[in-house]
Structures are given as structure tokens and as C-alpha cells.
Amino acid sequence: MPLDVVILGPPGAGKGTQAMRVSAETGLSHIATGDMLRAAIAAESGLGQRVRPILERGDLVPDELMIELIRARLALDDTSNGFVLDGFPRTFAQAEALDAMLADLDRRVGLVLEFQLPDEVAYERLLERGRSDDEPEMIRHRLDVQRVPEEVVTYYRAKGNLVGIHADRPVDEVFGEVQDVLATVAAR
């Protein structure tokens, strides 16, 4: 079933893990903007050089760059049967741009999963994950900067396709809840 899914949630919510499982189960393409940016940095491309200091600081990459990155990604064939978008949108401008891009393709965001978990749990998870950008003060900063903006949640809620997911649980339980939601959407 072609379906365009957006996963919202703070760093440490398990968006990437769950998006990969959804992708494996449904065949929807997994698009992870953080992975794309880290790949650009590893390849030392122009984009990579530009965003490297931003990721190192734990800040957000400017909207224009992110929107162009997603525009180029959605132009690739493998997304035509639907995608699971993990890490985008992170701002209201990105959410609006995504809708405009999809409208041009005669598509729309069909489902928004909002992964919810307490700040302290996100903090502990990021501390354990121990990526190089996950030093304690950096984690606090990322949680502050990368919190899902309320206006993005409100925007999708108003469209009626936002579903909250209890992300403060073991991976299999979260995935079970995600599968239940996908089954409900498929039955619509």
C-alpha cells in the first residue's frame, strides 16, 4: 500500500529503529535525514563540509538546505511507493515545504507518528548510545534544540492524521503499537 509516513519525536525516541522495522515490514522507503547528512560529511561533499560544524554543535541545519535535500531525495524512484520519513520535518517551515512538495507529486502525508517520551528517558538513552556528538552537555543542548515544535504537532493534528506513540517502552512493544496503527490506516 503506498503510504507516506512521517515520524516525529525527540532524539533518543527510537525513530530510526522503528522506521527501519516499518520499512523492512512494509517495503516503504526509509529516509533518515540524519543518516543522509552524516553520509555527506563522511564523503566530504560540499553539503558535508557545510553541515559538519552544525552537527558537531548539535544545532539544526538551515531549512533551505534540508528542504532541498528532501526534494532531491523524493525525486528518486524508490520513494514512489511511499516512504517513512525519520528526522524531517523538524520545523514548521519544513512541514509546510513537505506538504507543498508532495502536493506537486499528487501525494500527501498519510500518517504522522508522534513518538512521545519524557526528557529524562531521552537523556538517558542518548547517554547510553554514546555517539561522538552525545556528550552530556551536548545531549541537553540537542534535546532543547531538537524538541518537536508544538506548532508542528498542532499543524498535523489539525489535519487529523497524527497518532501518538508511547515510545518509553521496549522496542518490540513500541513496534507492536506502530503495527496496530499501520493496520488501522491500511483498513481505512
Indicate whether 37 belongs to the interface with ligand AMP (CB under 6 A): yes
How far apart CA 59 and CA 37 sit, in angstroms, is 13
In the shown chain, the binding pattern of residues 117 to 136 toward ligand AMP, with x for contact by CB under 6 A and - for none, equals --------------------
Indicate whether 88 belongs to the interface with ligand AMP (CB under 6 A): yes
Indicate whether 33 belongs to the interface with ligand AMP (CB under 6 A): yes
Q: How far is the CB of 146 from ligand AMP (least distance, A)?
A: 6
Specify whether the CB–CB gap between 17 and 129 falls below 8 A.
no
Beta partners for 4?
Answer: 83
HEC secondary structure over 129-158 = HCCCCCCHHHHHHHHHHCCCCHHHHHHHHH
Q: How far is the CB of 187 from ligand AMP (least distance, A)?
A: 30
Indicate whether 152 belongs to the interface with ligand AMP (CB under 6 A): no
How far apart CA 91 and CA 99 sit, in angstroms, is 13
Using CA atoms of 182, 2, 156, 169 in order, give the dihedral in degrees to the nearest 10.
30
Cell numbers placing 164: 501518538
Name which position in 3, 58, 109, 167 contacts ligand AMP (CB under 6 A). 58
In the shown chain, the binding pattern of residues 89 to 118 toward ligand AMP, with x for contact by CB under 6 A and - for none, equals -x---x------------------------
Residue number with CB closer to ligand AMP (35 or 180): 35
Alpha carbons within 13 angstroms on the beta-carbon side of residue 52 total: 12
Nearest residue to ligand AMP, by Cβ distance, number only = 34
φ/ψ of residue 12, rounded to 5: 90, 0
Binding site for ligand AMP (CB under 6 A): 11, 33-34, 37, 54-55, 58-61, 66, 87-88, 90, 94, 142, 146
